[in-house]
Amino acid sequence: EPEVTQTPSHQVTQMGQEVILRCVPISNHLYFYWYRQILGQKVEFLVSFYNNEISEKSEIFDDQFSVERPDGSNFTLKIRSTKLEDSAMYFCASSVKAEQPQHFGDGTRLSIL
């Protein structure tokens, strides 16, 4: 069964450094998402992406965050200058259509030191 793949599984970064989290969505999916889960808290929506542009973003997704689909298969989340509070599990998800269930990757654990 096709799946969403995320790399790396764990990323450790110094505060203030840039980090790029990578995702390969399922190949025929058109809608792409990033969510995050801070330890002990809910899974929270960050951003959705369709037709090569951001469709919706949450309050969390400020100017330090950006997303890109550079080559038609990868979908990346970049954090320009990481803060301690960015430490979380980051999940990528994709769906065929907006109204179809989203399928999630196994996440990247981001640890900011």
Q: In the chain, what is the straight-line distance between the N-terminal and C-terminal CA atoms, in Å?
A: 37
Please tell me the distance from the alpha carbon of residue 113 to that of residue 110, in angstroms, as a whole number: 10
Q: Which of residues 23-62 bind another protein (CB under 8 A)?
A: 31, 33, 35, 41-45, 48, 50, 55-56, 58
Residue 1 near another protein by CB under 8 A:
no
Binding to another protein by residue 65, rule CB under 8 A?
no
Give yes or no for residue 103 binding another protein (CB under 8 A).
Answer: yes
CA-based nearest residue to 94, from 44, 47, 30, 43 = 30
Q: Judge contact between 100 and 76, C-beta under 8 A.
A: no
* Residues in touch with another protein (CB under 8 A): 4, 6, 31, 33, 35, 41-45, 48, 50, 55-56, 58, 91, 93, 95, 98-99, 101-107
